[in-house]
Amino acid sequence: MLTREGRNWRVRTAGVAFLLLPHLIGAPTAMGQSAIPAQLLRRFAVTSLATTGMFWLLLGTVGGFISSRNEAGCRLTKPT
């Protein structure tokens, strides 16, 4: 069970440290010349940021729509 009361604080601290370790160390960087043209790298970065932005906008819109429909349904079926 993940949320046991008797968990040791050392185990929790180690878990948090292992979760943060990759973010603190970071990804390795390439040394020397890259075989990939700089223009292609820039294009990939812009395209992936645009795609991610559109995904989050769509997700927020759908989530808001579902939430508003859910609230409207709760208001209609709740006894007063």
pLDDT tens per residue, range 19-64? 999 889 987 887 888 888 999 999 999 999 999 999 999 999 999 9
Residue 64 placed within a domain: yes
Cα–Cα distance measured from residue 49 to residue 42, given in angstroms and rounded to the nearest whole number: 11
Residue 68 placed within a domain: yes
CA distances for 62 relative to 9, 12, 46, 50, angstroms? 40, 36, 24, 18
State which H helix or E strand residue 73 sits in. helix 38-77
Q: Is the pLDDT assigned to residue 74 strictly greater than 80?
A: no
Full domain range(s) for residue 76: 36-80
Residue 57 placed within a domain: yes
Residue 67 placed within a domain: yes
CA distances for 3 relative to 7, 10, 19, angstroms? 8, 15, 17
Q: How confident is the model at residue 80 (pLDDT cuts 50, 70, 90)?
A: low
Rounded to an integer, what is the distance from CA 7 to the centroid of its chain?
Answer: 27
Number of domains the chain contains: 1
Residue 29 placed within a domain: no
**pLDDT at res. 1:** 46
Query: Token match 């292609």: residue?
Result: 40
